[in-house]
Structure 1
Amino acid sequence: MTENPTPSSTSPDHDLLTLLGDWVPRQRWYAHKGSAAEVVRLERSDLDESGVAQLLALTMRSGAGPGGETTVYAVPVTLRPAPDPDLAHALVGHLPAGPDGAGDPAWVYDGPHDPTWTWALRALVLAEEGVGDAAFGAGGATADGGLVVPLEARARVLTGEQSNTSIVLTGTEEPIGPPVIAKVFRVLNPGDNPDVVVQTALAEAGCRRVPRPAGWVDGHWTGAEGARVQGHLAHLTEFLAGSEDAWKVASAAAVAGRDFSVEAAELGRATAEVHATLARTLPTVPATAERLAVLADGLHARVDWAAAAATELAGLLEPAHARVEAVRSVQAAPDLQRVHGDYHLGQVLHSAERGWVLLDFEGEPLRPLAERSEPDLALRDVAGMLRSFDYAAGSATAAGGAGEAAAAWATAARDAFLQGWSEVSGVDPRRTGSEAATLLAALELDKALYEVVYEVRNRPTWVSIPLTAVRRLLA
């Protein structure tokens, strides 16, 4: 790897690197929590003429020594000559004046919280121009026929997001159009981000099950391997004000013991509509025996990994391998296509006008972007949502509800979702012995095994939820 050396103590970037090297690993979107972090490289570009709003690409190596994993992070910041009390909650830190009075002191703020930075982001998109230089820079673009990005707007950062930072922009000048949400990608991966590619393709195909696009920011930077790469930095889409988060809706129903079958069936139909549009709009590939063999090999590897990581799975290794090996014998699997890739109730909103709307087509954030862009079985999304219904039911038992009632709620919701999905897709994975049932069972088992390991490591009191699913799938 070629890389810039860490700036010397006399470099104007030295104090900034030290500051960011301490601040970044403490953020929700940092990908390698708990491991030592070493700053490898800093690239920076002004987003406005004043130089207050800046975009940084910070390359960090997790773990000690050259064997650690290297990741590039987007770090939007503003550098102000004096502290701003209104931004105290977003303060990254203070940079003192340089040695012998060289350089001015600066207060560094987390850019998405600063109106100056969000204004510069909107201006970049609307102008459809670029900033920076040949080594590191960014350029904005508006979506053809998409929403108008308001230049003058109120901005607020959404809380709770793990891997990215989202900013809601509400116009303040007449005519006030629909609000826009700007998602700033924090981990930078070379290549086109699936969130931009897939949502744009769906919207252009007339699909109303995704937010309308507004624009995006792409750019180029020095990648983790030291070469110049390019990809997406941010994505701007419609913000569905007044909509309800599907996880909150479903878990509230489970806690109250209210049947969710009607809503689940409609969600199944909406999911199948999106899958059908993706299959028509973006390339597909045949599910050949060779590709299914690769899938089976990967599923076997997951079984071994989970069994080694969680003693709770003792005694289940042999039937789990038998379940996933059945994938290899499938003769007529549907074509592989673009899918959501990380589908669960938290990725769906309910709009009074539009019904269920699907969000966040990035795929699993920690997987390499090239893998997330590969065609896959639509049934993988189905498996993800089935697991999510189990977790919604788990919230009912955590709230003191009866386990049997919660299990019955989940069974009804799962069945209704599959009913709705099969009505539109024409494939019913509930048919015992069908090839669709074989594929779905293996994919759901794969997801549940991952969940067992996650819960063992992070929330041991929740491990019974996926472990019960594993046993059911192997029965």
Structure 2
Amino acid sequence: MSALTDLLREWMPHQRWFGGKGREWADVDEEGFFLDEGDPAVSVHRVRVTFTDGAADTYLVPLSWRDHHVEELAHAFVGTIPYSGRETYAYDALRDRDATVPWLTNLVAAATVGPMRFHPAGVDYIPEGTPGDVISTEQSNTSLVFGQTAILKLFRRLEPGLNPDVEIHDALRRADNEHIAPLLGHIEIDDADGEPATVGMLQSFVSNASDGWRLATASVRDLYAEADLHADEVGGDFAGESERLGAATASVHADLARVLPSEPAERAWYDEVAAAMNARLDAAVAVVPELAAHADGLRRLYAAVARTEEPVVRQRVHGDLHLGQVLRTATGWVVLDFEGEPARPLAERRELDTPLRDVAGMLRSFDYAARHMLIEQPEDNQRAYRAQEWAERNRAAFCTGYSEASGLDPCGGSPLLRAFEADKAVYECVYEARNRPNWLMIPLTSLSRLSAGE
């Protein structure tokens, strides 16, 4: 094993974007090439990690190289390795501003560098020569903002095929949809078998915007501060924004159905959806014993999916829609991150689905926004009532906006929608039990309502 793979084996498990935390490594292989040989030199590495259970993942690791330690980059330091009789210092190139310039330089030039190809989208302006600043809040990817005009998302875990984030943004740009940040270009790399994988995508940066979660939770705080007022009487009432967000979501779905493939769901699809939901419930009960009390009611919901005659047109959807995936600008809502759930295989994320899955995700997000402040005061019945009132008002407003924009009522007693909501809440229970046990009350409270048919 080389000195570099030894270094990466020590460093990678501590990075937020590494998805194999807690798993035992069996082997690691690395292939790299220079993206830029200036000062600092920038190299790009595909690191394949094989785990003891036989699974394997490939990660994108760009490194910058210097002949001395740079104190200002201590937060990005990876380690040292010997080279030509001296020590060279390796840094995370995405956190080294001087090392971020080559990405856009190569994109403007539509360059090919080693196995990597840069594809500009034919737009007028890309901020070439500007260094990028990393966004520190991301989990599975790493994004750089260039001059407040463009944002480059680099996908850390590589899979063969076109990433749906690129595919869908490209389709919606061609459709002139006003609720996205336009695609400016993308980057791909060939794997060892010559199969291309998406490395990154460049979009227009949405400046002076607020994310939906922050706005919604500010509204909830305003409601809690006014003990004698109802949700529609508080100055920070969010229902108008929820209605506009519903209309924006409907617009995105309509354009996706128009410019990308769609098809009516066959009878077998309903059975497959119900079976998958039951399987996820069985697995979840083993992790969260509290789910057992709701299991019978949930299985009745899933059985209704298999029996329903509700027509469904399967199409491309967002796949992971919630309040943290939308931004409010001066002119309206912008929907972000069409990557889908990063933990799912890329091929699954590109499959046709129903827009109801996105609607259910947003409805669940309204519940979270309403109830997250109850965690420290779970016995406060008045706040619990007000949280439910806020959630119901904003869920209804979102559905109204969606219905008026599309002509379709997504929330009119649909057994599919209720089942998708329940399935999402089951997933949330597992996530919270493993990561934030004190938040488990949020999805469990929703499941009490859903499993009882309320």
TM-score range, shorter chain: over 0.9
* Structure 1 contact 147–213 (Cα < 8 Å) conserved: no
Identity %: 41
- TM-score, scaled to structure 1: 0.89
Q: Select the residue among 362, 367, 375 that pairs with 2:344.
A: 367
Structure 2 partner of 1:30: 18
1:410 and 2:380 correspond: no
* Structure 1 contact 182–236 (Cα < 8 Å) conserved: yes
Q: Secondary structure at the match of 2:191?
A: strand
Cα distance, 1:49 vs. partner? 3.6
Within 5 Å, which residues of 2 pair with 1:4-403?
A: 7=1, 14-50=2-38, 52-62=41-51, 64=52, 67-97=53-83, 102-132=84-114, 137-144=115-122, 146=123, 148-170=125-147, 179-222=149-192, 227-257=193-223, 258-353=236-331, 355-398=332-375, 402-403=383-384
Q: Secondary structure at the match of 1:267?
A: helix
Cα distance, 1:147 vs. partner? 5.3
- Change in Cα spacing, 1:266 to 1:351, as seen in structure 2 (3 Å) is same
Cα distance, 1:399 vs. partner? 6.5
CA–CA distance in structure 2, aligned partners of residues 425 and 473 of structure 1: 26
Cα distance, 1:103 vs. partner? 4.5
* Structure 2 contact 402–410 (Cα < 8 Å) conserved: no
CA–CA distance in structure 2, aligned partners of residues 200 and 58 of structure 1: 28
CA–CA distance in structure 1, aligned partners of residues 364 and 375 of structure 2: 17
Structure 1 partner of 2:228: none
Which one-letter code corresponds to 1:214 in the other structure?
A: L
Deviation digits for residues 156-211 of structure 1 (CA, Å, limit 9, x no counterpart): 100110000000001xxxxxxx6100001000011000000001110110001000
Q: Secondary structure at the match of 1:316?
A: helix
1:461 and 2:438 correspond: yes
Cα distance, 1:300 vs. partner? 1.4
Cα distance, 1:38 vs. partner? 4.0
Cα distance, 1:314 vs. partner? 1.9
CA–CA distance in structure 1, aligned partners of residues 81 and 28 of structure 2: 20
Deviation digits for residues 370-413 of structure 1 (CA, Å, limit 9, x no counterpart): 00000101000000001111111123324658221112111111
CA–CA distance in structure 1, aligned partners of residues 451 and 166 of structure 2: 38
Cα distance, 1:29 vs. partner? 0.5
* Structure 1 contact 255–395 (Cα < 8 Å) conserved: no
CA–CA distance in structure 1, aligned partners of residues 376 and 245 of structure 2: 25
CA–CA distance in structure 2, aligned partners of residues 442 and 243 of structure 1: 33
Cα distance, 1:425 vs. partner? 2.3
CA–CA distance in structure 1, aligned partners of residues 284 and 404 of structure 2: 34
- Change in Cα spacing, 1:103 to 1:191, as seen in structure 2 (3 Å) is farther
Unaligned runs of 5+ in 1: 1-6, 8-13, 171-177
* Structure 1 contact 272–425 (Cα < 8 Å) conserved: yes
Q: 201-210 vs 116-125, which deviates more?
A: 116-125
Q: Secondary structure at the match of 1:256?
A: helix
Question: Alpha carbon RMSD of aligned pairs, Å?
Answer: 1.6
* Structure 2 contact 256–316 (Cα < 8 Å) conserved: yes
CA–CA distance in structure 1, aligned partners of residues 409 and 423 of structure 2: 20
Cα distance, 1:330 vs. partner? 2.3
Q: Secondary structure at the match of 1:148?
A: coil
* Structure 2 contact 320–361 (Cα < 8 Å) conserved: yes
Which one-letter code corresponds to 1:283 in the other structure?
A: P
Deviation digits for residues 392-444 of structure 1 (CA, Å, limit 9, x no counterpart): 11233246582211121111111111111111222223333xxxx11100101
* Structure 1 contact 255–399 (Cα < 8 Å) conserved: no
Cα distance, 1:303 vs. partner? 1.7
Cα distance, 1:116 vs. partner? 3.5
CA–CA distance in structure 2, aligned partners of residues 184 and 16 of structure 1: 21
Which one-letter code corresponds to 1:105 in the other structure?
A: E
- TM-score, scaled to structure 2: 0.92
Displacement over 4 Å in runs of 4+: none
Which one-letter code corresponds to 2:212 in the other structure?
A: A
